[in-house]
Amino acid sequence: MRRAGVAEFWMENLIKKLLEQLGENPEREGLHQTPKRVAESLKFLTQGYTQDINTVINSAIFEVESNHMIIIKDVEIYSLCEHHMLPFFGRCHIGYIPNGKVLGVSKLARIVDHFARRLQIQERLTNQIGDMIMEALKPEGVGIVMEAQHLCMMMRGVQKQNSKMLTSSMLGNFRDSISTRNEFLQLIGH
């Protein structure tokens, strides 16, 4: 059995045992294929562990003469909370001021997905996105604002269905310049 096949086999068996521990019969009609489907789903939802960020970015860095703020708003995020393995989802807003280089716009969304497709906490996810853009482009500054709803807080525990968590990462002149930071926050509507 090839290595990936062995990993899938073990994961499916663990999920089958989990179903049994929950009091279910994993052989019943509705659950018979569930271990395989859950294993495939978890592999997809955590593919950020196996991706190479350089492959994600590829060669989509372009030289520019502009140093005006670039913003992409409302990039959807879907991740799994590392504490309960329940989803959290929301939007990420990215702004940066180029220093001779820009990144293809779809690559910004791919960077978000790369780090979101792991077991995460929102605070770390926000920082990882900002740090990666700083590393890849060496811009004058980067601003990240993320707002998300966490099912671990909505479905269990305190059960607050309307709660949202807001995090930010301000780097370079987004941190050092109040006017740059305020311009970014105003343009994204915060």
DSSP string, 129-189: HHHHHHHHH--SEEEEEEEEEEHHHHTSTT--TT--EEEEEEEEHHHH-HHHHHHHHHHTT
Whether 78 is in a domain gets the answer yes
Whether 76 is in a domain gets the answer yes
- Tell me, yes or no, whether 86 and 168 share the same domain: yes
- Tell me, yes or no, whether 25 and 104 share the same domain: no
- Tell me, yes or no, whether 155 and 74 share the same domain: yes
Between vectors from CA 30 to CA 156 and to CA 1, what angle results, nearest 5°? 100
Structural domain that includes position 164? 59-187
Indicate the number of domains in the chain: 2
Whether 95 is in a domain gets the answer yes
Whether 50 is in a domain gets the answer no
- Tell me, yes or no, whether 41 and 131 share the same domain: no
- Tell me, yes or no, whether 109 and 174 share the same domain: yes
For residues 187 and 171, the answer to whether their CB atoms sit within 8 Å is no
Pairing of strands 165-172, 141-150: antiparallel
The candidate with the shortest Cα–Cα distance to 140, out of 185, 182, 189, 102, is: 102
Cα separation of 147 and 124, whole Å?
A: 13
- Tell me, yes or no, whether 114 and 164 share the same domain: yes
- Tell me, yes or no, whether 13 and 94 share the same domain: no
For residues 20 and 26, the answer to whether their CB atoms sit within 8 Å is yes
- Tell me, yes or no, whether 24 and 96 share the same domain: no
Q: How far is CA 93 from CA 22, 126, 174, in A?
A: 39, 10, 13
Pairing of strands 101-103, 165-172: unpaired
Whether 119 is in a domain gets the answer yes
Q: Each residue of 140-183: pLDDT tens digit?
A: 999 999 999 999 988 888 888 888 999 999 999 999 999 999 99
3-state SS class at 103: strand
- Tell me, yes or no, whether 83 and 173 share the same domain: yes
Mean confidence (pLDDT) of the chain: 94
Whether 77 is in a domain gets the answer yes
- Tell me, yes or no, whether 30 and 84 share the same domain: no
* CB contact burial 8-43 (16+ within 10 A = b; e otherwise): beebbeebbeebeeeeeebeeeeeeebbeebbeeeb
Whether 169 is in a domain gets the answer yes
Domain with 79 in it: what CATH number? 3.30.1130.10
pTM of the model: 0.92
Domain with 27 in it: what CATH number? 1.10.286
- Tell me, yes or no, whether 38 and 89 share the same domain: no
- Helix ranges (H only) for 26-79 are 34-45, 53-57
pLDDT of residue 159: 82
- Tell me, yes or no, whether 79 and 161 share the same domain: yes
Whether 53 is in a domain gets the answer no
Q: Each residue of 47-92: pLDDT tens digit?
A: 999 999 999 998 899 999 988 999 999 999 999 999 999 999 999 9
Q: Each residue of 120-132: pLDDT tens digit?
A: 999 999 999 999 9
